[in-house]
């Protein structure tokens, strides 16, 4: 028979796995940004500094989504707030 604590731990592990899917979006977005940044520098090498700074700022903003998903997964696995509700 499944206990309440076992069910909460199993659901938390599944939720942590789903939260880590959030890492796919930033990876794709950063790859696209880097590709467009490289092609922009290829077209206009004189604007390399402006292009690179804008690209890196955009990548940093995109990475926050992955970090939030990672934080949620770590909280669900190690500091499980749902166990105290039983």
What is the pTM (predicted TM-score) of this model? 0.74
**Can you give the pLDDT at residue 14?**
94
Q: What is the pLDDT along the chain (86 residues), one digit of tens a residue?
A: 888 888 989 999 999 999 999 888 888 988 998 899 999 999 999 999 999 999 999 888 888 888 999 999 999 889 888 777 77
Residue 73: burial class (beta carbons within 10 Å; 0-12, 13-18, 19+): buried
Quote the pLDDT of residue 25: 86
pLDDT (0 to 100) of residue 2 = 84
For residue 51, give both structure tokens.
């292009």
> Tell me, what's the pLDDT at 41?
92
Please identify which residue in the block is written with the tokens 């949620």: 72
**Domains located in the chain, CATH noted:** 22-78 (1.20.20.10)
Pick from 29, 39, 31: nearest CA to 61: 29
């Amino acid at each position: 028979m499944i206990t309440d604590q076992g069910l909460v731990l199993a659901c938390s592990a599944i939720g942590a796995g789903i939260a880590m899917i959030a890492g796919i979006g930033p990876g794709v977005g950063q790859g696209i940004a880097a590709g467009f940044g490289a092609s922009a520098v290829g077209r206009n090498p004189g604007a390399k500094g402006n292009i690179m700074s804008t690209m890196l700022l955009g990548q940093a903003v995109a990475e926050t989504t992955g970090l939030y998903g990672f934080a949620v997964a770590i909280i669900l696995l190690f500091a499980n707030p749902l166990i105290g509700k039983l």
